[in-house]
Protein backbone atom coordinates (compact mmCIF):
# COMPACT_ATOMS: atom_id res chain seq x y z
CA UNK A 1 0.00 0.00 0.00
CA UNK A 2 1.27 3.45 -0.90
CA UNK A 3 1.94 6.10 1.65
CA UNK A 4 -0.32 8.92 0.65
CA UNK A 5 1.49 12.23 0.86
CA UNK A 6 0.07 15.59 0.05
CA UNK A 7 0.66 15.53 -3.70
CA UNK A 8 0.70 19.20 -4.62
CA UNK A 9 4.24 20.22 -3.52
CA UNK A 10 5.79 17.16 -5.19
CA UNK A 11 3.77 17.65 -8.34
CA UNK A 12 4.72 21.32 -8.48
CA UNK A 13 8.41 20.45 -8.13
CA UNK A 14 8.10 17.88 -10.94
CA UNK A 15 6.39 20.47 -13.14
CA UNK A 16 9.07 23.07 -12.38
CA UNK A 17 11.74 20.57 -13.40
CA UNK A 18 9.84 19.88 -16.61
CA UNK A 19 9.80 23.60 -17.47
CA UNK A 20 13.53 23.80 -16.87
CA UNK A 21 14.03 20.91 -19.29
CA UNK A 22 11.57 22.13 -21.92
CA UNK A 23 13.00 25.64 -21.98
CA UNK A 24 16.62 24.44 -21.74
CA UNK A 25 17.19 26.72 -18.78
CA UNK A 26 20.29 24.71 -17.82
CA UNK A 27 21.38 23.07 -21.09
CA UNK A 28 24.79 22.16 -19.69
CA UNK A 29 23.31 20.17 -16.79
CA UNK A 30 22.29 16.71 -18.07
CA UNK A 31 21.64 15.52 -14.49
CA UNK A 32 18.51 17.66 -14.60
CA UNK A 33 16.86 14.98 -16.75
CA UNK A 34 17.73 12.26 -14.24
CA UNK A 35 16.41 14.43 -11.41
CA UNK A 36 13.14 14.96 -13.30
CA UNK A 37 12.71 11.24 -13.98
CA UNK A 38 13.50 10.42 -10.33
CA UNK A 39 10.89 12.94 -9.16
CA UNK A 40 8.37 11.23 -11.43
CA UNK A 41 9.20 7.84 -9.90
CA UNK A 42 8.76 9.39 -6.46
CA UNK A 43 5.33 10.75 -7.43
CA UNK A 44 4.26 7.28 -8.58
CA UNK A 45 5.69 5.58 -5.51
CA UNK A 46 4.47 7.90 -2.79
CA UNK A 47 1.35 9.63 -4.09
CA UNK A 48 -1.74 8.65 -6.00
CA UNK A 49 -0.37 9.98 -9.29
CA UNK A 50 -0.95 7.57 -12.17
CA UNK A 51 2.23 5.79 -13.34
CA UNK A 52 0.96 5.89 -16.93
CA UNK A 53 0.46 9.66 -16.74
CA UNK A 54 3.94 10.22 -15.33
CA UNK A 55 5.61 7.98 -17.92
CA UNK A 56 3.69 9.43 -20.86
CA UNK A 57 4.21 13.01 -19.73
CA UNK A 58 7.93 12.37 -19.28
CA UNK A 59 8.21 10.73 -22.69
CA UNK A 60 6.35 13.57 -24.44
CA UNK A 61 8.44 16.20 -22.66
CA UNK A 62 11.72 14.62 -23.73
CA UNK A 63 10.63 13.97 -27.30
CA UNK A 64 9.07 17.42 -27.76
CA UNK A 65 12.18 19.06 -26.35
CA UNK A 66 14.39 17.01 -28.65
CA UNK A 67 12.40 18.19 -31.67
CA UNK A 68 12.45 21.89 -30.75
CA UNK A 69 14.90 23.50 -33.17
CA UNK A 70 15.09 26.67 -31.10
CA UNK A 71 16.98 24.83 -28.35
CA UNK A 72 20.70 23.99 -28.34
CA UNK A 73 21.64 20.86 -30.25
CA UNK A 74 23.47 19.21 -27.34
CA UNK A 75 20.45 19.63 -25.05
CA UNK A 76 18.10 18.22 -27.66
CA UNK A 77 20.41 15.24 -28.12
CA UNK A 78 20.46 14.61 -24.37
CA UNK A 79 16.67 14.61 -24.26
CA UNK A 80 16.41 12.24 -27.21
CA UNK A 81 19.01 9.94 -25.67
CA UNK A 82 16.94 9.67 -22.47
CA UNK A 83 13.46 9.32 -24.01
CA UNK A 84 13.73 5.51 -24.00
CA UNK A 85 13.51 5.46 -20.20
CA UNK A 86 9.89 6.60 -19.81
CA UNK A 87 9.03 4.60 -22.95
CA UNK A 88 10.29 1.49 -21.17
CA UNK A 89 8.03 2.37 -18.24
CA UNK A 90 5.08 2.63 -20.63
CA UNK A 91 5.90 -0.76 -22.12
CA UNK A 92 6.19 -2.36 -18.68
CA UNK A 93 2.89 -0.85 -17.56
CA UNK A 94 1.20 -2.12 -20.72
CA UNK A 95 2.51 -5.64 -20.20
CA UNK A 96 0.70 -5.79 -16.88
CA UNK A 97 -2.58 -5.09 -18.65
CA UNK A 98 -1.72 -7.07 -21.81
CA UNK A 99 -2.10 -3.98 -24.02
CA UNK A 100 -0.04 -2.48 -26.79
CA UNK A 101 -0.78 1.21 -26.16
CA UNK A 102 2.95 1.95 -25.87
CA UNK A 103 3.80 0.91 -29.46
CA UNK A 104 2.80 4.17 -31.22
CA UNK A 105 5.16 6.00 -28.87
CA UNK A 106 7.95 3.57 -29.71
CA UNK A 107 7.35 4.32 -33.38
CA UNK A 108 7.52 8.06 -32.69
CA UNK A 109 10.86 7.63 -30.97
CA UNK A 110 12.23 5.33 -33.66
CA UNK A 111 11.25 7.72 -36.45
CA UNK A 112 12.38 10.92 -34.73
CA UNK A 113 14.91 12.82 -36.83
CA UNK A 114 16.77 15.65 -35.22
CA UNK A 115 16.98 18.57 -37.58
CA UNK A 116 19.77 21.07 -36.96
CA UNK A 117 19.10 23.69 -34.35
CA UNK A 118 18.44 27.19 -35.59
CA UNK A 119 21.68 29.14 -35.39
CA UNK A 120 22.05 32.40 -33.53
CA UNK A 121 22.54 34.19 -36.87
CA UNK A 122 19.27 32.77 -38.19
CA UNK A 123 17.50 33.93 -35.04
CA UNK A 124 18.84 37.44 -35.53
CA UNK A 125 17.67 37.67 -39.16
CA UNK A 126 14.58 39.70 -39.69
CA UNK A 127 13.37 42.74 -41.42
CA UNK A 128 15.91 45.46 -42.16
CA UNK A 129 14.00 48.08 -40.18
CA UNK A 130 14.06 46.00 -36.97
pLDDT band for position 8 (50/70/90)? confident
- Structural domain total, the chain: 1
Residue pLDDT, tens place only, 77-86? 999 999 999 9
Q: Is residue 47 part of a domain?
A: yes
User: How confident is the model at residue 15, as a pLDDT?
Assistant: 95
Q: Determine the pLDDT at residue 6.
A: 59
d(CA 76, CA 64): 9
Residue 87 resides in a domain: yes
3-state secondary structure 57-83: HHHHHHHHHHCCCCCCHHHHHHHHHHC
Whether 73 is in a domain gets the answer yes
Task: Evaluate whether residue 1 is within a structural domain.
Answer: no
Is residue 22 in some structural domain?
yes
In a domain, 34, yes or no: yes
For residue 67, tell me if it sits in a domain.
yes
Say which range, 84-88, 89-93, 114-118, has the weakest mean pLDDT: 114-118
Q: Calculate the CA 18 to chain-centre distance.
A: 7
Q: 112: which DSSP letter?
A: -
Is residue 101 situated within a structural domain?
yes
Instruction: Show the domain range for 98.
Output: 7-124
Name the percent of the chain lying above pLDDT 70. 85
Amino acid sequence: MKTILHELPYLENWRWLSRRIRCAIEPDEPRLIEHYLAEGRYLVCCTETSPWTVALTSFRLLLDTACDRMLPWHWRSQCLDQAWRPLLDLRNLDRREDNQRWQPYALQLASCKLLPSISHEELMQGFEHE
